[in-house]
Structure 1
């Protein structure tokens, strides 16, 4: 089992939205490195949900990968902001999908939200994707990073 961090804008799709719609397709990722990380997700992996582009960016809860990455349907919808005609052309040509979307199942909120500023200030996080590639919307977390985040949160990050 691996741990991942995914970012979402709470005005677009919050942890509460995931709770209501669980399991939900985690769609709309349009960065190739983040897409490649989506490919690595496996059922049962734990996902930390971070609210971003808000007053206090913070890790707010946990989810679990319930279905591995499927073709992202929003990439095929011409009226959607994430539409990509190359994705459609790839599918029509029998190629692998360009954009993917795993299904995530809500687990629980953290007992207290963990602000990103506290995480970034922790020395064990200095080399983390979360610090070095701050704009990346999907990233793996290694055991040391998970241990640090769990310590800062004051709780287990297991299902």
Structure 2
């Protein structure tokens, strides 16, 4: 089992939205490195949910991968802001879809939100994607990173 961190803007899709709509397709990712990480997710992997682009960006909850990445339907929808005409061409040609979306199932909120600023201040996280690639919306977390985050959160981060 691996651990991941995914970011979402709470005004667009919050942890509470995931709780209500669970399981939900984690769609709309349009960064190739983040897409590649979505492709690596396996059933049962634990996902930390981070609220971003808000007053206090923070890790707020846990989810689990409940279905492997499928073609992202928003990339094929001309009415969606994430529309990419190359997705339709890829699918029609029988190629691997350019953009994918796994299903995530809500597990629970953290005992208390963990501000990202606290994580970035920890020397043991200095080499993590969380600090080095702070704008990346999907990233893997190592076991050491998970243990550090769990200590800071006062939460075991277990489902």
What do the CA deviations read for 1:12-41 (whole angstroms, capped 9, x no partner)?
A: 000000000000000000000000000100
Give the TM-score normalised by the residue count of structure 2.
Answer: 0.99
Structure 1 stretches of 4+ moved >4 Å: none
Instruction: Specify every segment of 5 or more residues in structure 2 that has no aligned partner in the other structure, as ranges.
Output: none
SS for the counterpart of 2:83 is coil
CA RMSD of aligned residues (A): 0.3
Match of 2:131 in 1: 131
Counting matched residue pairs gives 159
SS for the counterpart of 1:140 is strand
Match of 1:54 in 2: 54
Match of 2:80 in 1: 80
SS for the counterpart of 1:39 is helix
What do the CA deviations read for 1:60-84 (whole angstroms, capped 9, x no partner)?
A: 0000000010000000000100000
Match of 2:146 in 1: 146
- What is the distance in 2 between the residues matched to 1:26 and 1:99? 11
Please state how far the C-alpha of 1:158 moved relative to its aligned partner.
1.1
Match of 2:70 in 1: 70
Match of 1:113 in 2: 113
Match of 2:33 in 1: 33
